[in-house]
Amino acid sequence: MNHPSTGLIGPLMISIEGLSPTLEEQELIARSCVGGVILFSRNYADKAQLRDLVASLRAMNPAILIAVDQEGGRVQRFREGFLSLPALSRLGALYAADQKAGLAAAEACGWAMAVEQVDVGIDFSFAPVLDVYNAASRVIADRAFAADPEVLSALALRYVAGMNAAGMAATGKHFPGHGTVAADSHVELPIDTRPLDALLAHDLKPFEALASSLGGVMPAHVIYSAVDPHCAGFSRFWLQDILRKRFGFDGVIFSDDLTMDAAHSAGSVEVRADLALEAGCDMVLVCNDGEAARRVADHIDARADSGVPPSASRLPRMAAQFARHDADYASSSRWHEAQDIIASLPT
């Protein structure tokens, strides 16, 4: 069996405040509309505590998906006791010097990241970043593989292959591309004024190249004003016409966190959730705000249709393939090779 549950997975992903959920958080997690929990650094003390936390979450809601942002570099939620992962740009630097070595390192890093997470019961990391590298970006920059979309795509494909080999589905972010805009959507609303043709020729290339390899995609809280007046995550044009129809993507679409400042311009958190789901998101993230998460849960329950939503058939694909996981990975030659590769990466 690939996952501890065969039940339907709800469309809301939330976070918790501490090392274990409060009684109020437990009640929320047990609700059928809640299908996921994303973990942060504040939820981690050591591996034993993390395993216990994961087990407790599954006891509350057997259908739950458990996620994390474990990219490496600046964005690595679990550090002590885990491999120190490189920023993806370091893989691009190696590729520039030695293409074969760069591709091998990308696969090794994807596998190492994923195997450690699956080992503690995490279903998936929101990775890899498919945004193009641009030093001016305040939020992406070295989180990206490379500035050249073709190089980025080649490295990302191998990184995803490594994740898949460890039993983890990959999630590409931030569609259709957050790397070129300088603004940080966590604290402001970025606007990209380029026309669609320019985006298709550059930022969108990695998403198109990986559309059949990804389990999930996360859109950006960015407005591409020459294309659509809505943020990409609230846009049927971006999610349906481009991602689903033009690129043929049939996996899960996750909203980015609806509490980020860039999303606030759309209205209340309930309105944001509606806009994301109606545009085509299968799961919406409401993080770091327990009251907002409860409001969205109440709103989803109040609007629940009698039929099964399309996301019900897609979301289980994000569950980790635990049966493929090697519990003795740390003694394997592949693990030692991955450690050596990561240690030798250019700084």
Strands (E), the chain: 12-14, 34-39, 65-68, 70-72, 75-76, 124-125, 171-175, 191-192, 216-219, 223-224, 252-257, 283-286
8-state DSSP, 62 = T
Burial of residue 283 (CB within 10 Å: 0-12, 13-18, 19+) is buried
Count CB atoms within 10 A of the CB of residue 147.
16
Q: Which residues contact 44 (CB under 8 A, 6 or more apart)?
A: 19, 50, 77, 78
Catalytic residue among 52, 148, 184, 186: 186
Residue 315, CB half-sphere, CA atoms under 13 Å: how many? 28
Q: Are 284 and 12 in contact (CB under 8 A)?
A: yes
Q: Are 8 and 312 in contact (CB under 8 A)?
A: yes
The CA R_g of the chain, rounded to the nearest whole Å, is: 19
Q: Is 328 a catalytic residue?
A: no
Q: Is 261 a catalytic residue?
A: no
Point out which residues pair with 284 in neighbouring strands. 12
Point out which residues pair with 175 in neighbouring strands. 219
Amino acid at 252: V
Point out which residues pair with 129 in neighbouring strands. 173
Catalytic residue among 203, 256, 257, 274: 256
For the annotated catalytic residues, the residue numbers are 186, 256
